[in-house]
Structure 1
Amino acid sequence: MAIKKQFLKSKPVCKVTFTVPAAEAKQVTVAGNWNEWNTEAEPLKKLKNGTFKGTVNLEAGQAYEFKYVVDGQWQNDVEADGYAWNDYAAADNSVINL
């Protein structure tokens, strides 16, 4: 899994590209506190090499919690900037700092 951050000079926005290797998966989405944990709001596109990839525009200067949903299973990103405990899910969420 990988996260690429591209900060825009003209706006306080960061283009965040999420890449998830999941060749056997049918669907991968990214859900986070920026989209109210909507598991359908940010679908990632499956590439020919079996990875899923997608870009989300997020406000710079913020920290966001997120997880991937791979065929209905919640997963953290091993390359996240950090992790935050979530009492509701009784599990850690991935954190990205912009």
Structure 2
Amino acid sequence: MLERKKIKGRTHITFILPDDTPQGPVSVVGDFNHWNPAAHPLTPRGDGTRTATVALPAHSAHSFRYLAAGDFWFDDEHADHHDGINSRIHT
């Protein structure tokens, strides 16, 4: 799931996954963090989810995916669209 919040010319995107699916650590990686899995690991919240928030310029488009333990890459079904390889989001 994705949540968006516009703040002063930027859009804060919160990437949300269930706490246990998939199991183990998960990071959101994309062109906004140079595909670096250490940049935005998802952290647990008290409501049974885990999240990471990224501030992006308004009116921009970005590619991203999730990277889980065991080199398991996957897309977000709630993304704005998919380009065949990556999930895409528009701010």
TM superposition score category, shorter chain reference: 0.7 to 0.9
Q: Deviations over 1:72-98 (max 9, x none)?
A: 31110001000123xxxxxx1000011
Q: Which has the larger radius of gyration?
A: 1
Between the aligned partners of 2:47 and 2:4, the Cα distance in structure 1 is 22
Please give the root-mean-square deviation of Cα atoms over the aligned residues, in Å: 1.5
Between the aligned partners of 1:48 and 1:73, the Cα distance in structure 2 is 25
The AA in structure 2 aligned to 1:82 is: H
Q: For residue 95 of structure 1, what is the aligned residue in structure 2? A: 88
1:46 Cα deviation after fit: 2.0
In structure 2, the gaps of 5 or more residues are none
Aligned length: 89
TM-score norm. by structure 1 comes to: 0.82
Work out which of the residue numbers 14, 18, 29 in structure 2 matches 1:17.
14
SS in 2 for 1:34: helix
Aligned pairs (5 A) from 1:11-90: 11-23=8-20, 25-71=23-69, 72-85=71-84
Give the fraction of aligned pairs with identical amino acids, expressed as a percent: 33
Q: Deviations over 1:37-96 (max 9, x none)?
A: 1111101102355422121111111000000112131110001000123xxxxxx10000
In structure 1, the gaps of 5 or more residues are 86-91
TM-score norm. by structure 2 comes to: 0.88
1:4 Cα deviation after fit: 0.4
